[in-house]
Amino acid sequence: MSASIRFTHAITRRPAASIIRGLRAVDTGSPDLTRMLDHHAAYVAALRETGATVVELPPLDAFPDSVFVEDTALCLPEGAVVMRPAAPSRLGEAAEMAPNLAALYREVMAITGPESFIEGGDILVTEREILVGRSARTNAAGIAELARLVAPWGHKVREVHTPPGILHVKTDCSLLDAETILSTTRLSASGCFAGYRIIDVPEGEEAAANTIRFNDLVLMPAGFPRTRDLLDAAGYQVREIGNSECAKLDGGMSCLSLRFTPA
């Protein structure tokens, strides 16, 4: 099975009470912490069900968006790279994550350029390449620095452009297996996934494009029945997880964990 979808470890962080101050592109109301905690617990339980070791970190009240750990690092088999988030309020989250990665990896590097900005939500790792979306949160300098860091590990980085108005490239896509990408039509129409098999989510269910394939499970946000049926019909083992509260902060399934197999 593919190293890009099979993992031995995951890192998550429990939502903090300060989550109500989290960043959002459009204000659709404050998240309900109790409901978010319930959804988060179901998410962690699903990851553990696959046999993976899940490290659940404590809340960080000083960082309202810290539940979205994916943005803090890129985790590859050879090592981890600590990101440099573009939002000033999130820079401290990456620093908080670094020692947790150092406990599991022999090599942990970091994006350090003062003009470099890059977030994990813009990075889609496949078997053949690392796709990185240029977005409001990830710039050319950040992508170039990442490419230099991972080249000695044998990884090739390819830049793609995130559609206007979309926070991260993975807001609109996810990897289902070594050859298949779930995507919105607004992203796949750009041609950025040429050579892959593409499953487009139905119109009106764009938020379902952000799923995660974690070992034998595909975790997807609840409430998108046409996408669920598409994935069922394609032979995937689907688990629906409540995401109503994270969605108020532009968050999805991939945002809530770092997924990896350290060498």
Q: Exactly one of 173, 192, 246, 255 is catalytic; which is it?
A: 255
Q: Is 173 a residue of the active site?
A: no
CA diameter of the chain: 47
Tokens (6 digits) for 195: 């050579």
Distance, CA of 34 to CA of 55 (rounded, Å): 21
Q: How far apart are alpha carbons 164 and 186 in whole angstroms?
A: 10
Catalytic residue among 39, 75, 168, 192: 168
Q: Do 17 and 61 form a contact (C-beta atoms < 8 A)?
A: yes
Q: State the burial class of residue 96 (Cβ atoms within 10 Å of its Cβ: 0-12, 13-18, 19+).
A: middle
Report the SS3 class of residue 4: coil
Alpha-carbon gap, residue 6 to 230, rounded angstroms: 22
Sorted by sequence, the CB contacts under 8 Å of residue 14 that are 6+ apart come out as 37, 40, 56, 57, 58, 59, 67
Tokens found for residue 219: 């975790």
Assign 88 to helix, strand or coil: helix
Indicate if 168 belongs to the active site: yes
Q: How far apart are CA 28 and CA 223, in angstroms?
A: 17
Which amino acid is it at 225? P
Query: Catalytic residue positions?
Result: 168, 255
